[in-house]
Structure 1
C-alpha cells in the first residue's frame, strides 16, 4: 500500500478463505516409507527394560564371611519391565545390547564396621561404594553409572566387607535401558 511503502503489486492476492494469512504452514508427505527400521520391528523398538528391587527383610541377610564376598539378595521386586531381573539368581541380565543406567543404595548395619559394596558385571567389580564404620550409625553405600552391556551379561551386587541392615526397605538396586546399540 502507498502508506506502508510496500508495493502491493509484487505480492500475490490473498484468498479471503485462507485463515492462516502471514503464517508458515508445513506440509508432510506421510507416504514416505520408514526405511531405517522396518515397521515390523516396532514392538521390539518400543520394548522397555527397567528394574527396581528392594531388600525388605533381615532373613538371610548377607555379610562377609571370612573375607568371602556375599551376593546381596533382594526379596522384593518393585518393577521388572522386560523381565530382565532374575530374582532366583539375584542378578540383572539384559535381553538387548545397549547403554544402561544402573544405581544402588545399600543401608549399612548399625555398628562400627565399614560397608563396602561392589557392582559386579560378569564376575568383575566395575563400581564400588563405601559406608564408613567409624561411628556406630547407619549410612548408605551408594553409586551409579552408565554402562554398555551386551545381551546376556550378568550384573549383581556383592558385599566385600561389612553387613547390610535389610529390614527397613532402604537397600535398593535399579537400572534401565537408556538406549540400544
Structure 2
C-alpha cells in the first residue's frame, strides 16, 4: 500500500519536470492550467487509494472475525468429543455355563437365569450372582439373548423389566427334534436402579456349554 501511495506523487514530480523542460504548452497561463489539472488528477488518485485501503481494512477485519468463529467452533467440537469419550460406558455379555455343561429347567432358575461366564462387564451393571442387570443411570438400553434347547424339550426364555415380561423366545417340543435355537432383542428405557433379568417358561429348559449357546447381553445406547 505504501508503494501505491507514492505513485501519484512520483507521477506529479515527473510531469512537473516535463513542464519545466519545455515539454508543455508555452506561456504562464498554460503552465498554471496544467498544474491545476495535475493537482486534481493526483487528489482523485489518492482518494481512490484511500478508499481501497479502507475496503482492504474492512475485509481484513471480517476475515479475522471469521477465523475467531472457526477457532471457537473447533474448541467446542473438541470439548464435545472429550465429553463423549468420558461419558458413561455400560456394556455386558455373558453365557450360561462357565465350565462343563449346564442344563437348567424352570424349577432350577430361582427365579432368574444366572449367566456365569462373563465375556465383558464394563460398568459392572450385570451381577453374575443374581443374573440381574441394574441400570446405573436413566437411559435407553439395548438387550439381546439366545437360547438353546437340547433334544425334544420345550425351550425358550423371557426377558423381564422389574419382573414384568417384555420379550421372549419360545420353541415347543417336537418329535425327533434334536435341538433348537431361539432368541430375541429389545430396546428399553430404564430409570436408574431398574432391573432387567432372564427367566424360563414353565416346564421349559435351556442348555449351554463352552460353545456359548445360551447368552444374555446388553449395553447403554445413550443416557437421557
Q: Do Structure 1 and Structure 2 share a fold, with TM-score over 0.5?
A: yes
User: TM-score, normalization: structure 1?
Assistant: 0.71
CA RMSD between the two structures: 3.2
Conserved? CA contact 2:148–2:182, under 8 Å: yes
- Deviations 1:61-89 (CA, angstroms, capped at 9, x unpaired): 421239x8742121111011111001111
2:93 is aligned with 1:55: no
Structure with more helix by fraction:
2
SS in 1 for 2:104: coil
Match of 1:138 among 164, 179, 183: 179
Q: How does 1:1-181 map to 2 (within 5 A)?
A: 28-30=70-72, 42=83, 46-56=87-97, 57=99, 61-65=103-107, 70-110=111-151, 112-135=152-175, 136-161=177-202, 162-167=204-209, 168-181=211-224
- Deviations 1:158-181 (CA, angstroms, capped at 9, x unpaired): 011311112242111001111111
Considering only CA atoms, is the larger Rg found in Structure 1 or Structure 2? Answer: 2
Change (3 A) 1:61 1:70: farther
Query: Hey, what does 1:19 align to over in structure 2?
Result: none
Conserved? CA contact 1:64–1:159, under 8 Å: yes
**Count of aligned pairs between the two proteins:** 152
Unaligned runs of 5+ in 1: 1-24
Give the distance between the partners of 1:55 and 1:137, measured in 2 at CA.
20
User: TM-score, normalization: structure 2?
Assistant: 0.59
Instruction: Compare relative contact order (CA 8 Å, sep 6+) and give the higher one, 1 or 2.
Output: 1
Unaligned runs of 5+ in 2: 1-65
